[in-house]
């Protein structure tokens, strides 16, 4: 991969993208992925299941952050893609397709569905888009309930997974979740660093100005919309594989989008690292306090409120603005030599 690290300006100032710290962070991320791939052979079933859940949370957070944080498309209906990812997996497996193949194919089917959905939905702006996505999710939930295979809210199970023994099944789901997380995050990172990524952020900042500069607004937004749907669809399919049972009211619940919003708000909206950090924080909170029932949900709400009031840019956003740290840079930064900084003081 060819990387242009900086362009030198007058006075020794430089426009940078990669820094020494960010290069180190990338290598650490690669080594961490290799280490994570070894987990099923080292740790027990409970740890493998929990780590699988973490990978799904990272996927969900990163995709909502991509849509809202970078694209300015705030949605409260992304659970439609989560539910459809699980639903299409059940349907495809019922047709005789191997369940693990069905997981991948269902993600592609969700992407195709989102492509068609994008034509009416991306014409909506702001709150209209957010509520419109919620309405689409509610209608899709009702339609899925009409499927005889699903049996309404009674639901069904991914029974074809029984062809695999429990240990092998758990390991394959884990590796698929790890690969999905790594692959989708890499695709998002490369997209945001491309010209299209620059156009996406320009649209977020001022759609009319971006259009005036020649940006193809609808086509650019559609790329991000479809990618986010694909990632969330994969997350839904992987969650089904772990849970086995499918009940529409669970998978099409607005709580999934609430979780996405929580993770992104806490981690840092519009920062690549923030979504990952937010998913880790949510995972820790759920692991420690998830058994408290309604008090757990109240606690999540309070934490989100505290961050919104006192850390509106999220935890990573605060770190980035305070210390200028960017581990996975998708934009550029101006590096000012210390002697110039001192002269300005």
Residue 335: per-residue pLDDT: 55
Residue 345: per-residue pLDDT: 46
Residue 173: which domain range? 36-255
Q: Is-contact 260 78, C-beta < 8 A?
A: yes
Residue 131: per-residue pLDDT: 94
What's the mean per-residue pLDDT of the chain? 89
**Is the pLDDT at 11 greater than 60, yes or no?**
no
Residue 213: per-residue pLDDT: 85
Total residues found in the chain within this entry = 345
Does residue 18 lie in a domain region? no
- Return the minimum-mean-pLDDT range out of 41-50, 72-81, 201-210, 217-226: 201-210
Side-chain-side CA neighbours of residue 238 (13 Å): 31
Residue 328: per-residue pLDDT: 81
Distance (Å, whole) CA 279 – CA 259: 9
Distance (Å, whole) CA 234 – CA 77: 16
- The better pLDDT of the pair 148, 110 is held by 110
**Is the pLDDT at 4 greater than 80, yes or no?**
no
Does residue 195 lie in a domain region? yes
Q: Is-contact 100 168, C-beta < 8 A?
A: no
Does residue 24 lie in a domain region? no
Does residue 28 lie in a domain region? no
pLDDT exceeding 70 applies to what percent of the chain? 91
Residue 5: per-residue pLDDT: 44
19-52 burial: b if 16+ Cβ within 10 Å, else e? beebeebeeebeeeeeebeebbeeeeeeebeebb
Does residue 47 lie in a domain region? yes
Number of structural domains, the chain? 1
- Return the minimum-mean-pLDDT range out of 81-85, 108-112, 194-198, 274-278: 194-198
Residue 2: per-residue pLDDT: 40
Region 14-29: what's the mean pLDDT? 80
Does residue 55 lie in a domain region? yes
């Amino acid at each position: 991969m060819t990387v242009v690290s900086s362009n030198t300006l007058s006075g020794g100032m430089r426009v940078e993208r990669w820094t020494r710290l960010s290069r180190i962070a990338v290598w650490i991320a690669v080594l961490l992925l290799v280490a994570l791939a070894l987990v099923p052979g080292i740790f027990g079933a409970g740890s493998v299941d929990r780590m699988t859940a973490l990978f799904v949370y990272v996927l969900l957070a990163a995709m909502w952050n991509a849509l809202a944080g970078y694209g300015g498309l705030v949605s409260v209906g992304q659970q439609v893609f989560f539910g459809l990812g699980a639903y299409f997996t059940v349907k495809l497996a019922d047709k005789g397709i191997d369940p693990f193949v069905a997981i991948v194919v269902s993600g592609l089917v969700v992407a195709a569905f989102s492509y068609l959905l994008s034509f009416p939905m991306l014409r909506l702006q702001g709150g209209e888009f957010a509520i419109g996505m919620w309405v689409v999710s509610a209608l899709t939930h009702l339609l899925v309930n009409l499927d005889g295979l699903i049996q309404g809210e009674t639901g069904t199970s991914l029974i074809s997974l029984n062809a695999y023994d429990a240990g092998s099944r758990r390991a394959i789901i884990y590796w698929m979740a790890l690969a999905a997380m790594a692959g989708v995050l890499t695709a998002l990172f490369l997209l945001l660093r491309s010209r299209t990524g620059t156009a996406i952020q320009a649209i977020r900042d001022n759609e009319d100005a971006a259009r005036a500069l020649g940006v193809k607004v609808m086509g650019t937004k559609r790329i991000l919309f479809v990618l986010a749907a694909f990632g969330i669809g994969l997350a839904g399919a992987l969650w089904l594989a772990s849970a086995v049972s499918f009940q529409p009211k669970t998978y099409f619940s607005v709580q999934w989008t609430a979780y996405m919003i929580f993770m992104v708000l806490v981690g840092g909206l519009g920062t690549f690292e923030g979504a990952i950090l937010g998913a880790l924080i949510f995972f820790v909170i759920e692991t420690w306090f998830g058994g408290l029932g309604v008090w757990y949900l109240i606690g999540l709400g309070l934490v989100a409120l505290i961050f919104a009031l006192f850390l509106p840019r999220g935890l990573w956003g605060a770190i980035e603005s305070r210390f200028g740290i960017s581990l996975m840079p998708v934009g550029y930064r101006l590096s000012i030599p210390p002697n110039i900084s001192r002269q300005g003081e």
